[in-house]
Amino acid sequence: MKGTRELVSPSFGRAYPLVLESAEGSILTDVDGNKYIDMNAGLAVCSTGHGHPKVKQAIKEQVDRFIHYSYTDFFYKDYIDLSSVLHDLLPGDFKKKFFYGNSGAESVEAAIKVSRWHTRRQGILAYIGAFHGRTMGAVSLTASKPVQRAGFSPLIPGVEHVFYPYCYRCPLNLEYPSCGYACVDYIDEHLFHRYVPPEEASMLIAEPMQGEGGYVVPPDGYFKKLKKLLDQYGILFAVDEVQSGIGRTGKWFAIEHYDVIPDIVCMAKGIAAGMPLGVMASNAEIQDWLPGSHASTFGGNPVSCSAALAVIDVIKSENLLENAEMLGSYLLKRLEEMKENHPFIGDVRGKGLMIGVELVKDKNTKEIAKKEAGEVMMKCFKKGLAIVTCGPNVIRWMPPLVITKDLIDPSIEIFEQSLTEVEKGK
Ligand SMILES: Cc1ncc(COP(=O)(O)O)c(C=O)c1O
């Protein structure tokens, strides 16, 4: 019989041989009946856990009504209901408009196109370490691993990458807060005054917390200073909340931690807890594009919209923002305490239930422990904790937002055991 090797694109990275049979809440069961605590949430997607009855019910009811009828040409209610709910959740006391696609990358494509359309400027600023998806526009903004770009040129022109505020490994070799956010000044002094005409830049796109690039958390105040600079030149501020949005960090949107209002917000992943949905929301004024200029046949599929409405309802009614904040703080504290006794833990960081543990071979040199991070991940998997890495050397914690303390505690134990074994070379 033919299997994955013969039939499936070999372009996937693959973490470990987890073959899922079923899943409930925050527990996975594989085809051999082994159980795992799910620290992945299907890559930050299954926000309300697996098989949430209200989400399933909403999906079933919509399937019974109708499954598809392209909103790009026709109309149905859920698209509008979801837009008005999101309208009220998003930061910014102004009118917003919504474009729906099917994935994170599609929401980023829409941001690229609408920002170019609205400003009539071609340039885009993105970050080193960023991940925005795999389509040609999104991958042109992505800069987290060379393999994601190698062989695909020419990518879209006009994109410049700037330093992300990665304070643990400051690219300018400075320290926060004495640096005074020199990485923002760098954009002004070295890009805008030398080779990137700011009047030709349409938007800067930022993950409020870098995801795939290594769960990197910008310091307080960073985005405020950045936004001031962008406003000075009329450059739109887009945030990619595909991974960090819809409650993951204990707020609806991670940018809220920084008290800055974005012009454009990209969402996907957790918004429909597993049904495909990508959203590009913006200040209504920006979406002045013409009929026929952008669309997506499946975008905003009614089943996905119904699921998203149920997900948002569950997050509200089950206080999942509070749960993410409370259990996230607890997990962060436990991991920070662990850092003292473990030579491989270089940095622990995160907000809510989006937490990264950066592994190093030596705390002074901060030499990246890439192989070791992979080994820790594998050992965790064998002990019943499904967790993956990001960046070259970061263990990432992104469980369903419904996770409970009685599953966080054994997860920490499994992680510590696995880490100790790798540190001892076992
Ligand atoms: C921040 C961010 N943006 C965009 C994407 C791309 O999303 P998708 O894989 O749904 O296209 C991802 C996926 O991991 C992501 O983490």
**Can you give the pLDDT at residue 426?**
82
* Max CA distance (Å), the chain: 62
Q: What is the pLDDT averaged over residues 387-397?
A: 98
Q: Which of 102, 106, 107, 132 to mutate to test the pocket of ligand 1 (most atoms within 8 A of CB)?
A: 132
Between the CA of 203 and the centroid of ligand 1 the distance, in Å, is 18
Contact, 248 vs 47, CB < 8 A?
Answer: yes
pLDDT interval class at 367 (50, 70, 90): very high
User: Which residues, including other chains, have CB under 8 Å from residue 364's CB and lie 6 or more apart?
Assistant: none
Please say if the pLDDT value at position 134 is more than 90. yes
The preferred substitution site among 242, 253, 389 for testing ligand 1, maximizing ligand atoms within 8 Å of CB, is 242
Centroid of ligand 1 to alpha carbon of 105 (angstroms): 6
What is the whole-number distance in angstroms between the Cα of residue 64 and the centre of ligand 1? 30
Residue 402: what pLDDT? 98
Residues near ligand 1 with C-beta < 6 Å? 103-105, 108, 131-133, 207, 211-212, 240, 242-243, 268
> Could you read off the pLDDT of 219-234 as tens digits, one per residue?
999 999 999 999 999 9
pLDDT greater than 80 at residue 1: no
d(CA 38, CA 422): 21
How far apart are the C-alpha atoms of 387 and 378, rounded to whole Å? 9
At 191-220, the pLDDT tens digits run 999 999 999 999 999 999 999 999 999 999
Residue 109 pLDDT grade (very low, low, confident, very high; cuts 50, 70, 90):
very high
Strand order in the sheet with 385-386: 20-24, 27-30, 35-38, 385-386
The rounded distance, in Å, linking the Cα atoms of 189 and 298 is: 44
Dist. CA 132 → ligand 1 center (Å): 5
- Cα of 426 vs centre of ligand 1, distance in Å, is 35
Helix residue ranges, H only, 192-246: 222-233
Q: Taking a C-beta distance cutoff of 8 angstroms, is the pair 140, 219 a contact?
A: no
Can you tell me which atom of ligand 1 is nearest the CA of 134? 11
- For the residues 73-84, what does the mean pLDDT come to? 97
Ligand 1 atom nearest to CA at 268: 10
Mean predicted lDDT score pLDDT of the chain: 97
How far does the centroid of ligand 1 lie from the alpha carbon of residue 399, in Å?
Answer: 17
Share of the chain above pLDDT 70, in %: 100
Residue with the nearest Cα to atom 16 of ligand 1? 243
Q: What percent of the chain lies above the pLDDT cut of 90?
A: 98
- Probe ligand 1: pick from 215, 239, 243, 279, max atoms within 8 Å of CB? 243
The alpha carbon of 368 and the centre of ligand 1 are apart by a number of angstroms equal to: 24
Does the pLDDT value for residue 425 go beyond 90?
A: yes
Looking at ligand 1, which residue's alpha carbon is closest to its atom 7? 104
Closest ligand 1 atom to residue 278 Cα is 10
In this predicted model, what pLDDT tens digit does every residue of 284-321 receive, in sequence order? Answer: 999 999 999 999 999 999 999 999 999 999 999 999 99
How far apart CA 125 and CA 172 sit, in angstroms, is 18
Buried b (16+ CB within 10 A) or exposed e, 200-235: ebbbbbbbbbbbbbbbbbbeebbbeebbebbeeeeb
Query: pTM (2 decimals)?
Result: 0.98
Mean pLDDT of 179-192: 98
